[in-house]
Structure 1
Amino acid sequence: MPTATGRAVIVLALTAWAVSAYTEIVELRMVALMCALAVLLAVPWLLFPMRVRAAFALRPPRAVAGEQVDIALSAVNDGKLSLWQPLVNLPVGGRDFWLRMPTLTPAVRTSHDLLVDDLSRGVLDAGPAIAVRTDPLGLLRKTVRWCEPVELYVRPRMALLSTLGSGQVRDLEGVPSDRVSMSDLAFHALREYVPGDDLRHVHWRSSARAGELLVRQYHDTRRNHATVVLDPTPDAYRTDEEYELGVSIAASLIMCAAREEYDVSLLSGREQITSLPGGAVLDATCRVQREPEAEPLPGEIHRAIILAPETSLLFVITGAAQDDLDDIAAALLMVPAETRCVVLRAAPGEPSTVLRQHGHELITVGSLSELPGVLAAS
């Protein structure tokens, strides 16, 4: 394929030949011949075979917006002759990067690292790796695809939360908690009988040995489930920054829930994920987008109740432009009474506040760094 320089040389050759034929100027005919000869001598450079196997390695395999990721491109030359410092084009998320690989000797694996920074949240394509070969004069160019692209998950920025607070539903199939109870399945210990204790919990065999009444104590078995609803309607957010703050709040809550061994669900437009490992739900935050045809937030809340009816903690995240707070409060009335509901407004630049209204908490988050404080105060 001719480059821009190659096309210019070809046009010059044709023009010079045409003008020389019309004016009989011999010098122009020589210019045309020299240009044609240069193009013909460039052809053998492209006929040289390039048989290369290549692969990507991402470090880390999951990145965070604004941070760096190291992309290692390793290649093995399957040909019989060495390839001298091939030039490789590597697109990452719409940005083109150029690598000058070391000389590839036959059957030897060679690698080159590329450090990519300032990544935006999303699922980005890293690759494909395309080797570009040109002749010494840069007249002709040949491209060879070395390997297919790989997906790079760039998660939103997250704040480190200490805890999500209360929000547990008793479930006999759940896991034992640290709370001691007088009626459950996970046996904890025996203690002395206190007037008022249920005689059904007396351990008679141990009482006979000890000479006094002893009753059983149990660990409460609890199942924790956190559901995050992220408003997908564009009108709820004034700017892209505001929406990205909402996504970061959602990801921070999901990360904390996964660390505390909650079951986690996420609902945002087309993204509907429930009871999957925290890492898979965090990957979904890379894909969420505002959707013009999305259902209004009260409808999203109803869908969340259907998606995860066992929810013990419900977080609803929207933007500062959301003006249907009364409709949201009405939708939350459909949530079971034992479920804790928290509405968070992403409002960059506004003071962070905590209010309690209509039986739920309304938290305004002015910046991601303030999220741990306002959530702990709620």
Structure 2
Amino acid sequence: MLSRALAVTRTGSRVVTSTGRGVLLLGVVAYAGSLVWGLVELRLVAVMCLGVLIAAVPWLLVPMRVEADLRLRPPRTTAGEAVEASLTATNHGALPLWQPLVRIPVGTRETWVRMPSLDRGSRQRVEVVVDDLARGVLQVGPATAVRSDPLGLLHRPVRWGAARELFVRPAMVVVPTLGAGQVRDLEGTPSDRVSMSDLAFHALREYVPGDDLRHVHWRSSARAGELLVRQYHDTRRNHATVVVDADPAAYPSVEAFELAASVAASLLMCAAREEYDVSLACGDVQLTALPAPAVLDGTCRIDPAPGAAPLSEQVATAMVLAPETSVLLLVTGRGTDPEAVTRATVTLPADTRVVVVRAAPGETAGVLRHHGHDAVTVGLLGELPGLMAAAS
């Protein structure tokens, strides 16, 4: 019983506005004063305060039947850019709505807009521009209309429509290439693995029961006097995997991790433009075998993860996620031990190209060759295109 009474009290406190609470307090004080001093005028003031509060109740009870649709243009944007939220409302109720006040939440921010009056059956649209957005997946909406009486004593929020997800990707730059020596080959690049069916011919060998007769080389078999079958190099498409170090210790500041996220997104965009298959790994965000835009959306969700696995385990997990990786792009911060990077990359296949990018705001940019891989230091995002072009 007590909990129910408390719940009713909390609900009532949300319905009564600050103005309404002031009127209620005035009525209580006036009534108390009338009892103490016996003044009829104070009792009249108390009755008037109670009367206006009771008169405000019917305004909240009238049903509001509104069909609302919230749209975002564009549905994806980059950090620091603006997005336009368009709210279309149609009044299906029996009564007109006079300039409803609508709240549109965008992440942790709130935007208030006063809509034009909605007559019965009419439709109105308002547009709100929200700028200076931070990276992440933001929930926009649901829009909430505030139903109130003319004096603003009581109000009741009414939900209009559903919420939308806004993907705010990191700031990006156009990286022309992932480095010199990368071949854009739609048919794949031959590897050292031998296969019985592929595109790159390797050699002939003796027939073994169970081999596919379609691979028998009949002319050579006739000359040798025994069945010979073709062997091939196993080929694979170029596949770029971006691993972002999830250890918070690697990044001394929020800006350092945001730079790392921007570097990762820029490299993913470059790989997709060069028609690579792409994968992304950072903590719990593990994406592969998806269209490039979906993988790029993953950069909206990455964050440092306290208790993250050592860097070597993160790289090993990424290789399990995408074993066909031909280019591994490891993005970390200035707080990562170089020996940890070496341990993470030393066991990778010899035919996998490795580029380690250190996101270190304020440090001097540069490219070094270290333990068989390229080590790139990025102090500013704008330096990334030239550094990747210089990487061997």
Scaled by the length of structure 2, the TM-score of the pair is 0.82
| Residue correspondence of structure 1 range 308-347 to structure 2 within 5 A | 308-322=322-336, 324-347=337-360
> 1:68 is matched with which residue?
82
Could you give the per-residue CA deviations for residues 182-221 of structure 1, whole angstroms, max 9, x where no partner exists? xx849xxxxxxxxxxxxx9xxxxxxxxxxxxxxxxxxx97
Native 8 Å contact 1:64 1:156 kept in 2: yes
Could you give the per-residue CA deviations for residues 83-108 of structure 1, whole angstroms, max 9, x where no partner exists? 11110011101111101111122333
What SS class does the counterpart of residue 252 from structure 2 fall into? Answer: coil
What SS class does the counterpart of residue 167 from structure 2 fall into? Answer: strand
Residue 274 of structure 1, CA deviation: 1.1
2:285 paired with 1:274:
no
Q: Distance in 1 between matches of 2:235 and 2:250?
A: 39
Q: Higher strand fraction: Structure 1 or Structure 2?
A: 1
> 2:19 is matched with which residue?
5
Cα 1:319–1:255 shift into 2, 3 Å: same
Q: Specify the code of the residue in structure 1 equivalent to 2:24.
A: I
Residue 44 of structure 1, CA deviation: 2.6
2:307 paired with 1:296:
no
2:45 to 31, 34, 37: 31
Q: Specify the code of the residue in structure 2 equivalent to 1:145.
A: R
Q: Distance in 1 between matches of 2:109 and 2:319?
A: 41
Which has the higher mean CA deviation after the structures are superposed, 299-308 or 124-133? 299-308
Cα 1:253–1:27 shift into 2, 3 Å: same
Q: Distance in 2 between matches of 1:269 and 1:262?
A: 23
Q: CA RMSD in A?
A: 2.3
Which has the higher mean CA deviation after the structures are superposed, 142-151 or 91-100? 142-151
What SS class does the counterpart of residue 313 from structure 2 fall into? Answer: helix
Native 8 Å contact 1:267 1:304 kept in 2: yes
2:378 paired with 1:353:
no
> 2:386 is matched with which residue?
373
Native 8 Å contact 2:179 2:390 kept in 1: no
Q: Specify the code of the residue in structure 1 equivalent to 2:109.
A: R
| Residue correspondence of structure 1 range 1-378 to structure 2 within 5 A | 1-165=15-179, 175-176=186-187, 185=199, 223-322=237-336, 324-378=337-391
Q: Distance in 1 between matches of 2:319 and 2:189?
A: 28
Residue 355 of structure 1, CA deviation: 0.5
Identical residues among aligned pairs (%): 55
Gap runs ≥5 in structure 1? 187-199, 201-219
Q: Specify the code of the residue in structure 2 equivalent to 1:271.
A: V
Residue 49 of structure 1, CA deviation: 2.1
Scaled by the length of structure 1, the TM-score of the pair is 0.85
Which has the higher mean CA deviation after the structures are superposed, 285-294 or 43-52? 43-52
Which has the higher mean CA deviation after the structures are superposed, 337-346 or 7-16? 7-16
Could you give the per-residue CA deviations for residues 276-305 of structure 1, whole angstroms, max 9, x where no partner exists? 111011111101111002112121111112
Which has the higher mean CA deviation after the structures are superposed, 28-37 or 260-269? 28-37
Native 8 Å contact 1:169 1:223 kept in 2: no
Size of the aligned set, in residue pairs, is 340
Cα 1:167–1:283 shift into 2, 3 Å: farther
Q: Distance in 2 between matches of 1:131 and 1:255?
A: 40
Gap runs ≥5 in structure 2? 1-14, 191-197, 201-216, 218-233
What SS class does the counterpart of residue 314 from structure 1 fall into? Answer: strand
Which has the higher mean CA deviation after the structures are superposed, 43-52 or 135-144? 43-52
Native 8 Å contact 1:168 1:312 kept in 2: no
